[in-house]
Amino acid sequence: MMSISNDSVLKQRVVVLDEDASFVTDRYRLLFAKVDLVSRKEDKKVIAITSAVKGEGKTTTTSNLSVVSARDFGKRVLVIDGDYKNPSLARKFGVQDEVGLLNVISKECDFSDALTPGPIENLSLLTMGRQAVHPSKKGAHKDNAYIWTERGIISILKNVRDQFDYIWIDAPPILPLFDMSVISEAVDGIVLVVKTGETPEAVLTEAVKTLGSKKIIGSVLNRAEMSWKHGYNRYSYEYDRHH
């Protein structure tokens, strides 16, 4: 239940940082409130946000939810970039990406040293970072699947879980990368972002099947709604709780 502008500049930033009292931000707050209600009842704090395919708004959703949950609801929040092939978190927040998740997994630095303070209190960022080991060498990370293994994000989450109220992970798209059961095992819940009218039904069905129903908290339906007086095409998001 959110709205964002379709302006090319606005899409590159975390809109709720600049529009604290806007309709857009209110929709993100409402979305978090719904996710939080489910998560507290079912003791879920590590939430992956993904989509069936690239370009449906998962990074935008992750970034804005992380800000809203920390700033407006007072949660201690960590947001992790978990999409190795298309890392976008650092760019979205406008921070450097020299050290991050890959460097922690490779034991080049400690978790605390890889964190980047967010633009608001209570928010920490773990960007993708830059792999120091050449990809051809043993132990290098060649794909998304590797960082989600027991030696990757799973190990990190076990050690830092109690430090945060919520850990949001910008996960890779479900298709056609790899079996999503790898991600399902690492997190408590999954929110699926869908761009209505662009994602073929067969693709969405296959994506949900791959995820499995037990970990899906709900879906965010992103669809073009109307043109506003400022000339932007705006997008409406509806939250659907999956049982």
Report the pLDDT value the prediction gives residue 177, as an integer from 0 to 100. 53
Does pLDDT of 74 surpass 90? yes
Peptide bond into 119 cis (omega under 30): no
Return the higher-pLDDT residue of 19 and 31. Answer: 31
Peptide bond into 176 cis (omega under 30): yes
- Tell me the pLDDT band of 3, cut-offs 50, 70 and 90: very low
Contacts of residue 25, defined as CB under 8 A and 6 or more positions apart, other chains included, come to 15, 16, 19, 68
Return the higher-pLDDT residue of 63 and 24. Answer: 63
Does pLDDT of 139 surpass 80? no
Report the pLDDT value the prediction gives residue 226, as an integer from 0 to 100. 39
- Tell me the pLDDT band of 135, cut-offs 50, 70 and 90: very low
- Tell me the pLDDT band of 2, cut-offs 50, 70 and 90: very low
Does pLDDT of 66 surpass 70? yes
The CATH number of 3-241, from 3.10.180.10, 3.40.50.300, 3.60.15.10, 3.60.20.10, is 3.40.50.300
- Tell me the pLDDT band of 199, cut-offs 50, 70 and 90: low
Residue 45 CB neighbours (<10 A): 20
HSE-CB of 93 using CA atoms within 13 angstroms:
28
Q: Which residue's entry shows tokens 């929709």?
A: 27
Mean pLDDT of 40-63: 86
Does pLDDT of 78 surpass 90? yes
Tell me the C-alpha distance between 162 and 125, whole Å. 16
Whether the predicted model's global pTM rises above the 0.85 cut: no
State the amino acid at position 178 in one-letter form.
F
Q: Which residue's entry shows tokens 């940082």?
A: 17
What is the helix (H) or strand (E) element at residue 182, kind and residue range? helix 181-186
Which residues pair with residue 77 across a beta bridge? 123, 166
With a pLDDT cut of 90, the percent of the chain lying above it is 44
Does pLDDT of 227 surpass 50? no
Report the pLDDT value the prediction gives residue 140, as an integer from 0 to 100. 47
Does pLDDT of 241 surpass 50? yes
Mean pLDDT of 177-197: 78
